Amino acid sequence: MHELSLAMSVREIVETAAKENCASAVKEVTIVVGKFSSVVPDAMAFAMEVAKRNTVFENAEIVIKEIDTILSCGECGQETVMEDFEFRCRACGSGVVQIVSGDRMYVESIDIDREEEKCTM
- According to DSSP, residue 96 is labeled -
List the one residue from 13, 92, 99, 107 that touches Zn ion (CB under 5 A): 92
User: Measured from the CB atom, is 21 or 78 closer to Zn ion?
Assistant: 78
CA distance 36 to 103: 5
- Report strand pairing: 23-34 vs 105-114: antiparallel
Does residue 76 bind Zn ion (CB under 5 A)? yes
The SS3 call for residue 112 is strand
Please give the distance of CA 86 from its chain centroid, rounded to a whole number: 22
The count of residues interacting with Zn ion (CB under 5 A) is 7
Does residue 45 bind Zn ion (CB under 5 A)? no
List the one residue from 55, 94, 103, 107 that touches Zn ion (CB under 5 A): 94
* Closest separation in Å from C-beta 76 to Zn ion: 3
